[in-house]
Amino acid sequence: MGDQKRFVGIDVAKAQLEVFIRPDGESFSVANDEVGIGELLRQLEPADFVILEVTGGLEMPVASALAAAGIAVAIVNPRQVRDFARAAGRLAKTDRLDAEVLARFVDQRRGPWQTNRPRRSER
Distances (CA, A) of 82 to 48, 61, 86: 23, 23, 6
> Where residue 34 sits, what CATH number does that domain have?
3.30.420.40
Q: Which domain holds residue 34?
A: 7-112
Position 78 in a domain: yes
Return the pLDDT at 110.
Answer: 59
For 75-89, the pLDDT digits (tens) are: 988 888 888 888 888
Q: What pLDDT band is residue 95 in, cutting at 50, 70 and 90? A: confident
Position 105 in a domain: yes
Neighbours of 70 (CB within 10 A): 11
Position 39 in a domain: yes
pTM of the model: 0.81
Position 95 in a domain: yes
Return the pLDDT at 87.
Answer: 86
Position 76 in a domain: yes
| In the predicted structure, residue 54 carries a pLDDT above the cut 60 | yes
Domains held by the chain: number: 1
Position 18 in a domain: yes
Position 122 in a domain: no
Report the range of poorest mean pLDDT among 30-44, 63-77, 88-102.
88-102
